[in-house]
Each structure stands twice: as structure tokens, then as C-alpha cells.
């Protein structure tokens, strides 16, 4: 009996050790590209061409100065533009998707199921399919080279709506809504003062995903934005990478990419405590 218990304990320890090894390996795979990025951001173009190095170079400040002082590359305005677009997109997408999810969750009406299925169908349509028509419409509305087409459409975000709906199904009993109505609370007041605090983890998670998606978006902004002062960071990175061969500098490219991912990492750090709680609660229907 004792031998059987010892063998079971040994097997459990082996499984635990294998799990830790696999997790460490996965963490290494996830963090290694960031390490390469940060190392190459400190190296000059000739050094990068020589091959990979684990040791940082001495060109960090040089690359930084060259990127920030590039007359054809308004990095600071690009950061401000990307922050504004991504921040507004995150706010609008999470609030209005939460509001829509609350309406579908809390109200009973004849076409409720049809509306839900229609929103789900929209989620299946690739962005590339509707982009040309969208750009043509923006041209007719004289909204080209404007931030509005990059921000306002985020109000209709089926993916965010779906997550919010799943989260409300698992965390918001309708008894709370009914009690608020009996107490004389209006629908918007109920949503803003009762539902939104309950949805904080879900809002934080979707705010991160929406912010990152908008921050990294290159396809639509490249078709809408034409002015140099209104370009976002992904456009500037693509512009720098497609520079003339004689002017191409990999050190500057890596530095600009490092600058571009810093706000994203900062957002993740600030809202990371909500990620697991929000994803877990939103994926389990009560």
C-alpha cells in the first residue's frame, strides 16, 4: 500500500514537473520575440545585418534620435493619433456593445432572437469584404482623411457585443433590474449605475482587445488617412519599412516598433488583473 502511494506521488510530481517545463517553454516562446525586438532596437543597421545577438548594442539613443527627428516620419503625432483613435474606439465599443447586450438580455420582444442572430451573422463577415464599399461611402460623405471613419464604426462591434452578452447571462440576474425599476430607476440610470459596475471585468477585457485591435489596425487607416500629420503608427512603420534601400535603417524600424508596442504593454499591465476574471466569468453561463 505504501509503495503504491509512493508511486502515485512520484507520478504526480513527474506530471507537475513536465507541466512546469512546458509552461516555461511557452513563456520563453512568447517573450523571446520581444527580447529580440528590444535588443535590435539598441543596435545599428550594420550590426543587425551581421545576425542575431543576445547582447544589446550601443545605438539605442542614436536610433531614438533618428526616429524622432525624421522629417518624413511624424512619430509623436502618430502616437497621439493612435492613442486617440484606439482610446475612443475602446470606449465607444465597450459602452455601446454593453448597452446593446443589456437590452437583449433584459428585454423581451418579438424579434429578440432574430436581432441576436443578425448581429452574430455580421460578426462572420470579414472586414476586407466591406472595406471598399465603406471607403467609397466615406468618400461620398466627404469623410476621407478624417478620424471619424476610424472611430464611429466601433460602436457596432459584434464580437464585443457577444462577449458582453455571455457575461451578462452569467452575472446579471434579472431580479436586480426589476428591483431597480420598482425603485423608480430609469433604464439608462440602471445601466450606468448598476449594470456597468457589474460588468467592469468584461469591460476591461474588451477595452484591452479593442484598444489593441485599433492600435494595430493598418488596412483601413491606410485607405482613409492621407495627410502626414494624421497618420497612425502602423502606417508610419510600413512607410519606414518601404523606404528607399539607401535610406533603409533596420535600427530605426526596430526602435519604432518598440515605441509602438509600449502603450499596448502599458494598457495590459494596468488592466491585467481583470483579464482572467473577465474571460472566465464571460465564458461560463450560469
pLDDT over 70 at 77, yes or no:
yes
Over residues 245-273, the mean pLDDT reads 80
Q: Cα separation of 250 and 48, whole Å?
A: 7
- Nearest CA to 258 out of 107, 56, 117 is that of 56
DSSP state of 192: I
pLDDT at 4: 65
Please give the biggest Cα pair distance in the chain. Answer: 81
Rounded distance, CA 193 to CA 88, Å? 21
pLDDT, mean of residues 204-210: 88
All residues at 6 or more sequence positions from 194 whose CB lies less than 8 Å from its CB, including other chains: 176, 177, 180, 185
Report the C-alpha gap between 158 and 123 in whole angstroms.
5
Q: Tell me which residue has cell 476586407.
A: 128
What are the CA-CA distances from residue 134 to residues 40, 123, 137, 228 (Å)? 38, 16, 5, 22
C-alpha cell at 89: 474606439
Would you list the domain boundaries of the chain?
2-59, 64-283
pLDDT for the residue numbered 246: 56
Question: In this structure, which topology does domain 64-283 adopt according to CATH?
Answer: MetI-like fold (1.10.3720)
pTM comes to: 0.83
If 0-12 CB within 10 Å is exposed, 13-18 middle and 19+ buried, where does residue 24 land? exposed
Give the number of other Cβ atoms within 10 Å of residue 226's Cβ.
11
Query: Which residue in 226, 236, 210 sits closest to 79, CA to CA?
Result: 236
C-alpha cell at 82: 493612435
Q: What integer is the mean pLDDT of 85-99? A: 94
Structure-block grid coordinates of residue 147: 478620424
Question: What is the rounded average pLDDT for all residues in the chain?
Answer: 85
Instruction: Report yes or no: 90 and 214 within 8 Å, Cβ to Cβ.
Output: yes
Mean pLDDT of 169-177: 86
Rounded Cα gap, residues 59 and 62, in angstroms: 5
DSSP-derived 3-state class of residue 23: helix
DSSP class of 199: T
CA dihedral 114→120→123→126, nearest 10 degrees, is: -70
Mean pLDDT of 173-187: 86
Span 131-157, average pLDDT: 91
How far, in Å, CA of 188 to CA of 211, rounded? 25
Q: What would the pLDDT profile of 12-21 be if each residue is shown by its tens digit?
A: 788 888 989 9
> What's the confidence (pLDDT) of residue 124?
83
d(CA 58, CA 39): 10
DSSP 247: G
DSSP 58: S
Per the listing, cell 491606410 goes with 222
Phi-psi bin for 202: left (phi > 0), alpha (psi -120 to 50), beta? alpha
* CA 264 from centroid of its chain's CA atoms: 8
Amino acid at each position: 500500500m505504501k509503495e503504491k502511494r509512493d508511486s502515485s506521488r512520484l507520478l504526480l510530481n513527474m506530471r507537475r514537473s513536465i507541466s512546469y517545463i512546458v509552461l516555461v517553454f511557452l513563456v520563453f516562446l512568447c517573450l523571446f520575440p520581444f527580447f529580440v525586438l528590444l535588443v535590435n532596437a539598441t543596435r545599428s543597421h550594420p550590426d543587425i545585418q551581421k545576425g542575431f545577438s543576445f547582447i544589446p548594442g550601443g545605438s539605442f539613443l542614436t536610433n531614438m534620435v533618428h526616429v524622432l527627428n525624421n522629417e518624413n516620419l511624424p512619430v509623436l503625432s502618430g502616437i497621439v493619433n493612435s492613442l486617440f483613435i484606439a482610446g475612443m474606439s475602446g470606449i465607444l465599443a465597450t459602452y455601446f456593445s454593453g448597452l446593446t447586450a443589456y437590452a437583449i438580455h433584459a428585454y423581451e420582444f418579438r424579434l429578440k432572437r432574430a436581432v441576436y442572430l443578425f448581429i452574430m451573422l455580421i460578426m462572420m463577415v470579414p472586414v476586407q469584404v466591406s472595406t471598399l464599399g465603406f471607403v467609397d461611402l466615406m468618400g461620398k460623405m466627404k469623410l476621407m482623411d478624417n478620424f471619424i471613419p476610424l472611430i464611429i464604426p466601433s460602436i457596432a462591434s459584434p464580437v464585443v457585443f457577444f462577449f458582453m452578452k455571455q457575461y451578462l447571462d452569467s452575472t446579471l440576474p434579472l431580479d436586480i433590474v426589476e428591483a431597480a425599476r420598482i425603485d423608480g430607476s430609469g433604464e439608462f440610470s440602471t445601466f450606468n449605475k448598476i449594470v456597468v459596475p457589474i460588468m467592469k471585468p468584461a469591460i476591461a477585457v474588451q477595452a484591452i482587445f479593442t484598444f489593441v485591435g485599433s492600435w494595430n489596425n493598418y488596412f483601413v487607416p491606410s485607405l482613409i488617412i492621407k495627410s502626414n500629420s494624421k497618420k497612425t503608427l502602423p502606417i508610419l512603420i510600413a512607410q519606414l519599412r518601404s523606404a528607399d534601400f539607401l535610406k533603409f535603417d533596420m535600427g530605426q524600424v526596430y526602435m519604432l516598433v518598440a515605441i509602438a508596442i509600449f502603450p499596448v504593454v502599458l494598457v495590459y499591465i494596468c488592466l491585467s488583473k481583470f483579464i482572467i476574471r473577465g474571460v472566465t466569468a464571460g465564458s461560463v453561463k450560469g
